Amino acid sequence: MSRSDLGLPEDWSRVAYWLDYKGPVGPAPVIDDSIFKVKCPELPTLVRYDTEPPASFWKSFPSTSLPLKATTKLNPGVLARILCKQRHLLTPTQHQRGIKVVDYLTNGAPSCQKSPALPATFCKNAKSAVKNGKEVTDMLGFFVKSGYVAGPFSSPPLKEFRVNSLLAVEQDTKVRPCLNVSLPKDCSFNDNVDECKV
């Protein structure tokens, strides 16, 4: 039986980190509403976050179009100039890695997938995302408003469109939404990663 059969990562260093962890343990922190900073005050609070919101909700939700090419808030040209100017301080490997980062920021990074296209899927959000629906929705609105995320879409904007499950990680002063790319089992983004290309 392998570690993955037990639901553990194959990377032993990750497992070792969990075993050697000396930080605080205990129940998940309770998010204090007085500490939580709302980023999208224009969004109405819903009664429930496990059902389709009314049409009026989407009128106040921000919108960002799907970009036609890779986009970033960073300036790859500035990074390229710094790499050129400071090349004498870098090893050949470090310089090559920097050039690769500039290329990824300009043209998009590869996802290192084994097969070119996974089938379309629609995964339900985790219970933690529903439980923290107000905070997760606020953060998603902020991501869309900031241009980090495109949407919302009333229908799939691309062929073979995949809707991954969201989960929520509760932290001291915020709830961090995370995309679960390990679902659906045996047909997930992570299942399709070519580890030799990573």
pLDDT of 131-173, one tens digit each?
Answer: 999 999 999 999 999 999 999 999 999 988 999 999 999 988 8
Q: Are residues 86 and 72 in the same domain?
A: yes
State the pLDDT at residue 181.
94
Residue 176 within a domain: yes
Q: Are residues 144 and 172 in the same domain?
A: yes
| CA proximity to 68, closest of 112, 108, 117 | 108
Residue 1 has pLDDT above 80, yes or no: no
Q: Encode pLDDT of 84-110 as tens digits.
A: 999 999 999 999 999 999 999 999 999
State the pLDDT at residue 73.
82
Picking from 52, 82, 109, the residue at the C-terminal end of a domain is 109
Picking from 45, 75, 109, the residue at the C-terminal end of a domain is 109
Residue 156 within a domain: yes
Q: Are residues 170 and 119 in the same domain?
A: yes
Residue 21 within a domain: no
Picking from 74, 94, 109, the residue at the C-terminal end of a domain is 109
Indicate the number of domains in the chain.
2
pLDDT, mean of residues 170-195: 92
Residue 177 has pLDDT above 60, yes or no: yes
> Whole-prediction pTM value?
0.72
Q: How far is CA 121 from CA 94, 96, 148, 190, in A?
A: 38, 36, 22, 14
Residue 58 within a domain: no
Residues 6+ apart with CB under 8 A from 121: 162, 163, 164, 184, 187
Q: How far is CA 158 from CA 104, 111, 131, in A?
A: 22, 17, 30
CB 158 within 8 A of CB 176: no
State the pLDDT at residue 115.
83
Q: Are residues 130 and 183 in the same domain?
A: yes
State the pLDDT at residue 95.
96
Domain containing residue 198: 112-198
Q: Are residues 93 and 156 in the same domain?
A: no
Tokens 């969201």 -> residue: 166
Q: Are residues 125 and 183 in the same domain?
A: yes
Q: Encode pLDDT of 15-55 as tens digits.
A: 777 777 776 666 555 555 556 789 999 999 999 999 999 99
Residue 147 within a domain: yes
Residue 26 within a domain: no
Q: Are residues 101 and 128 in the same domain?
A: no
State the pLDDT at residue 150.
95
State the pLDDT at residue 41.
94
Residue 40 within a domain: no
Residue 119 within a domain: yes
Residue 60 has pLDDT above 70, yes or no: yes
Q: Please return the burial class of 186, using the count of CB atoms within 10 Å of its CB with bins 0-12, 13-18 and 19+.
A: exposed
Q: Are residues 98 and 154 in the same domain?
A: no
State the pLDDT at residue 74.
85
* C-alpha radius of gyration, the chain, whole number: 20
Q: How far is CA 22 from CA 18, 120, 139, 189, in A?
A: 9, 41, 30, 32
Q: Are residues 182 and 117 in the same domain?
A: yes
- Cα 72 from Cα 123, distance rounded (Å): 27
